[in-house]
Structure formats: C-alpha cells, structure tokens
Amino acid sequence: MKNTIADIAKIVGVAKSTVSRYLNGGSVSDVTRRKIEQVIKDTGYIPNSFAQSLKAKKTSMIGAIVPRLDSFSASQTVTGMDEELRQNGYQLLIVNTNQNLSREIEALYDLARQKISGIILFATEITQAHLTAVEEIGIPVIFLGQQHQKVYSIIYNDFAAGYDIGQYILTKGHRKIAYLGVTEKDEAVGLQRKLGFQKAVKEQEKAEVDFFESGFRMSAAVEAASGILDGLDRPSAIVCATDNIALGVMKAAHMRGIQIPKDLSVTGFGGYEVTEMIHPGLTTVKYGYWDGGCLAARQIIRLVHEESVDSLTVLHYEFMERESVDNVE
C-alpha cells in the first residue's frame, strides 16, 4: 500500500531503474517484465506522481478558472473542455472562484505553482492584476469570454448578437422597450450585448428604450422585473441580458396576470436547454458553450506544444426565434 519503486525492485530482485523502465515502456526482457508485473499487482503499487512530475518538470494538467460552476454556460463549457482534454491525455483541474476577482489572481499563481501546463480563464472582468499575473507565471493562458490584446482570447460575438436581438424586436414593431441588463463590469454580458442592442435601436428613430440592471440570479430578475412591470408606462417588450433573467421576467409577468407574448414580449441570451421546454418558448440567442469549451481546450493544447494559435477567436451564435415575442402593429 505504501511501497515505492525501490521496494518492488528489491522484491523482484532487479534495480530501480529496471522497474522504472518497465513502467515507462522501456526495454525489459520478457521474464523480468512478467515478474515485475506480478509483484506490482500483488503489492498494489501505485507510482508517486509527485516524484514523477518533479523529474519530468511538467504535468499533463490544464487548469480552468471559473467564476461559478452552477450556471448553464459554465457547466456546458467545462464539460466540452474536459471531453476534449481527456481525449488528448490531459487532465482538467477546475478552480471555482465563486465570482471573486481576487481569487482569480490567486488561482493563477496557485496553478503555476502546481506546474500546470496551461490555463483557461473564464473571464468576466480583466484587471491589470490579471495581466501581470499572466505575464509573471509564464505559462500559456487563454481568456474565454472576454478579450484582451495581450492574451489569447476566445469570445462569443455578444455585440452582434445584441444587434440581432435589437433589430428583431424593432422589426416586430416594438417601440417602447425595456432593456434589463447586468453590470457593465462584465464586459461581454453587461456591455457588449447592450452596445449591440443600442446600435440597432439607434437605427430606428422612434424607438424609446429604458435601461435597467439586474443581478444574474433568477430571483434578482424577478425583483428587477417587478419595478418595470409595475411602472405606469409599461413597455411592450423586455430584452434581457441572459436567459435566466428572462425566466425571472416571465415569472414576474405571470404573477401579475400579464400574458406573454400577448401583453409583453420577452427575449433572452444564452440558449439554455430549458428555454425550449417552457411555454411560451423563449426567443433567444444560442451560444455554443460546449463547442467553446472544446475549442479552448484544443487551443491551449496547441499552446502547450508551442504551436501557433489565433490571438482572437470569435465564436458563432444562433438566433432562436420561438414564441415569446409578439407583433405589435
């Protein structure tokens, strides 16, 4: 249970190096091989990976730093990443920062200490500390979800998606619209989606838009929606920055007997599976989170192998028209 390569070498009656060679697929005679096999099986010997890594000076581990695990996007992305990584012989080490920015920085250094080969950071906000850390640790890092010129980045095209949603809502005849977003500190979700939406709005003179902010949780959205819905001048459509927020808005509407889409149109962002199951189906933008995870994995592997990688990759999205938006004449 607690034996080393020396122990089993002694039992078999060979040198440590022979056992090591056996373990690493080096040349060993058939007789010796069989003996070693047997003894390893009998003793239940398990190599100490620290000692291995200490010599090898690297691991086959890739670190993922995520702000949270309990979100659709995060879990999908991580799953795709994990799949791809394993197929290439890498192991994924996930660090959950619980939306704490300074923990991201710590995690960066932590992972470096553990001689992780590469790191994928699910970015929300990029600070100077991030950039400094990335530079200091000297191992490949990819930002997923946000971009920065100095770091390899993979992003979803949030601006374009926001623009599409905006155009769609306007095409449907809505002129009094509420945009329920999240903090602009989140560059992609908070800012880019809104900016894209705003661009569409600016192209339509008559549109009147009020902007509101919500937290990410459904319960926060229910509350934020209440303020909008109980106002005197209720909008005909609420554009939400995430599907979760849209779900909260739908709930708040339902609690007031407001029918969707007849009395109120709603859109989301994300394309969570559940948005297709509910009634009415939520019109939203679907991101390929799983694919994003896969791609990030492939790129980090290339980087580890010192192969070239595009410094910025923009991922596709899909507009999903369902039943939550009505025509307004």
Partner DNA sequence: CTGAAAGCGCTTACAG
Q: Which stretches of the chain bind its own copies, using CB under 8 A?
A: 1-2, 44, 46-51, 53-54, 68-72, 74-76, 78-79, 82-83, 91-96, 98, 109-110, 112-115, 136-138, 218, 222, 247-248, 250-251, 254, 273-274, 276-279
155: left (phi over 0), alpha (psi -120 to 50) or beta: beta
Pairing of strands 317-320, 208-213: unpaired
Asked whether the bond before 235 is cis by omega within 30 degrees of 0, the reply is no
Pairing of strands 265-267, 237-240: parallel
Applying CB under 7 A, among 23, 94, 137, 278 the residue interacting with DNA is 23
Determine contact, residues 245/182, Cβ cutoff 8 Å: yes
State both tokens at 181.
């977003």
Using rule CB under 7 A, residue 15 touches DNA: yes
Residues 49-78 vs DNA: string with x where CB under 7 A?
Answer: --xx-xxxx---------------------
183 binds DNA (CB under 7 A): no
How are the residues of the chain apportioned to helix, strand and coil, as percentages rounded to the nearest 5? 45, 20, 35
Residue 206 binding target from its own copies, DNA, none, CB below 5 to 8 Å by type: none
Strand order in the sheet with 208-213: 208-213, 176-181, 237-240, 265-267
Binds 311, which of DNA, its own copies, none (CB < 5 to 8 A, cut-off by type)? none
Interaction of residue 10 with DNA, rule CB under 7 A = no
Q: Residue 11 interacts with DNA (CB under 7 A)?
A: no
Q: Which is nearer to its own copies, 74 or 182 (CB)?
A: 74
Q: Which is nearer to DNA, 26 or 231 (CB)?
A: 26
Report the distance separating Cα 221 and Cα 199, nearest Å: 24
Q: How far is the CB of 265 from its own copies (least distance, A)?
A: 16
Q: Is 24 in the site for DNA (CB under 7 A)?
A: yes
Phi and psi torsions of 317, nearest 5°: -150, 170
Residue ranges binding DNA (CB under 7 A): 4-6, 13-18, 20-21, 23-24, 26-29, 31-32, 47-48, 51-52, 54-57
